[in-house]
C-alpha cells in the first residue's frame, strides 16, 4: 500500500539580498510503500535535507505537495518524526527527558510519557543511561537517544537525515544493523538520507538516487538482498554489483555538480 506520496515537489529558497531565489528541488516525485525502507543518496547540496524538511512540513513547498495516507501534509505532526545528523538533543535534559520531548508537545500525561520513553530507551539499549545528560554520552549513544525520541511519538514515517554521519565507520555499521533490528520488529516506513554507498545498500529495500542541484530523482534501485541481513552481506557478489551500479550513477551526478560531500565518495 502506498503510504507517502511526494508529487511535483519544488522548492525555492528566498533570495538573499539582491540575488535570485535559489532552486533547491525541482519536480521531485516519489512514492513510498508502507513499511518500506528507502535510502536516499545524491551529491552534496542536491536538496536531500530540504526534501526531508518538506515531508516533515518544517518547510513549505514552492509547488507540489506531500501526502500521507492520501491526506495532504500541512504541518509538523507526530505521524512523521525526524532524526537529525547533529542529534539536536537538549543539553539540559537527561536521556529520559529528551526522549519525552515529542510526547510533551502532544500533551501526553507525565506517567504515560515516562512509560513510553522507557520502553524506547530500552529498545535502543540505553536503559542504564536514562539519567545521563547528553554531554556524558558518546556520539553513538546520543544518536540512540535521537532515535528513541523519534520512535516515542510512534510515527508512521521515520525521516532520518544522515543520522550516522557524525559517527566513525565502525560505530556506524553497528548502528545500521541495530536500526535494521528495530525496523524488522515494527516495520515503520523509513526514509534514510546517507552519503555512504554501502550503508545505502545495506539498509534499503529501495535506493533513490538524486541528481546534482537542483535535486530531482534520477533513478530508483530495488535492492534484492535477503533479510535479515548480517554485516557479512557487504562482501557478497550481489552487494558488490549494487555498489558498482550506485557508484557509477553517483559519479555521473557528482561530476555534474563538481562536488562530493566531505570527500566520502570512496565508500
Binding site for Mg ion (CB under 5 A): 49
Cβ neighbors of 117 (< 8 A, separation 6 or more) are 96, 99, 100, 103, 148, 152
Q: Please, which of residues 209-228 interact with other proteins by CB under 8 A?
A: none
The strands making up 63-68's β-sheet, listed across from edge to edge, are: 22-33, 2-13, 63-68, 71-72
| Total residues in contact with ligand ATP, by rule CB under 6 A | 13
> Beta strands of the chain (E only): which ranges?
2-13, 22-33, 37-41, 63-68, 71-72, 80-83, 157-161, 189-193, 206-210, 217-222
The contact mask relative to other proteins for 64-103 (x = CB under 8 A, - = no) is -----------xxxx--xx-x-xxxxxxx--------xx-
Residue linked to cell 506531500: 66
Size of the site for other proteins (CB under 8 A): 25
Rounded distance, CA 78 to CA 66, Å? 15
90 is in the binding site of which of other proteins, Mg ion, ligand ATP, none (Cβ under 5 to 8 A by kind)? other proteins
* Residue of 13, 133, 247, 260 interacting with other proteins (CB under 8 A): 133
Distance from C-alpha of 58 to C-alpha of 76, rounded to nearest angstrom: 6
The residue behind cell 534484492 is 224
User: Of 198, 217, 199, 213, which is closest to residue 254 (Cα–Cα)?
Assistant: 213
Q: What is the C-alpha separation between 42 and 47, in angstroms, rounded?
A: 8
Which positions from 4 to 43 touch other proteins by CB under 8 A, shown as an x/- string?
Answer: ----------------------------------------
**Among ligand ATP, other proteins, Mg ion, none, what does residue 73 contact (CB within 5–8 Å per kind)?**
none
Site for ligand ATP in 192-231 (CB under 6 A): 213
For residue 259, state whether it binds ligand ATP (rule: CB under 6 A): no
Of the candidates 49, 98, 120, 143, which one interacts with ligand ATP according to CB under 6 A?
49
Q: Of all helices (H) and strands (E), which one includes residue 93? A: none
Residue 22 or 138 with smaller CB distance to ligand ATP: 22
**Contact string (CB under 6 A) for ligand ATP, positions 28-47, x = contact:** --------------x-xxxx
Site residues (CB under 6 A) for ligand ATP? 13, 22, 24, 42, 44-50, 213, 261
Amino acid at each position: 500500500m502506498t503510504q507517502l506520496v511526494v508529487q511535483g515537489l519544488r522548492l525555492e529558497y528566498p533570495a538573499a539580498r539582491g540575488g535570485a531565489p535559489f532552486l533547491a528541488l525541482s519536480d521531485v516525485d516519489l512514492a513510498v510503500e508502507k513499511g518500506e525502507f528507502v535510502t536516499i543518496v545524491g551529491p552534496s547540496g542536491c536538496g536531500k535535507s530540504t526534501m526531508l524538511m518538506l515531508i516533515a512540513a518544517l518547510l513549505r513547498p514552492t509547488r507540489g505537495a506531500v501526502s500521507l495516507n492520501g491526506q495532504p501534509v500541512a504541518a509538523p505532526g507526530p505521524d512523521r518524526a525526524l532524526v537529525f545528523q547533529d542529534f539536536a538533543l537538549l543539553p539540559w535534559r537527561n536521556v529520559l527527558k529528551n526522549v519525552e520531548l515529542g510526547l510533551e508537545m502532544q500533551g501526553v500525561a507525565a506517567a504515560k510519557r515516562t512509560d513510553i520513553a522507557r520502553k524506547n530507551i530500552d529498545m535502543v539499549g540505553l536503559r542504564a543511561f536514562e539519567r545521563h545528560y547528553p554531554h556524558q554520552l558518546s556520539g553513538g549513544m546520543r544518536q540512540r537517544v535521537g532515535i528513541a525520541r523519534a520512535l516515542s511519538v510512534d510515527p508512521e514515517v521515520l525521516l532520518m537525515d544522515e543520522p550516522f554521519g557524525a559517527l566513525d565507520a565502525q560505530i556506524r555499521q553497528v548502528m545500521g544493523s541495530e536500526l535494521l533490528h528495530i525496523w524488522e520488529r515494527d516495520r515503520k516506513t523509513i526514509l534514510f538520507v546517507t552519503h555512504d554507498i554501502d550503508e545505502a545498500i545495506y539498509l534499503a529495500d529501495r535506493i533513490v538516487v538524486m541528481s546534482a542541484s537542483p535535486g530531482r530523482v534520477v533513478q530508483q534501485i530495488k535492492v534484492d538482498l535477503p533479510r535479515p541481513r548480517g554485516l557479512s552481506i557487504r562482501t557478497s557478489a550481489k552487494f558488490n554489483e549494487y555498489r558498482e551500479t550506485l557508484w557509477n550513477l553517483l559519479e555521473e551526478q557528482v561530476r555534474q555538480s563538481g562536488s562530493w560531500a566531505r570527500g566520502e565518495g570512496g565508500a
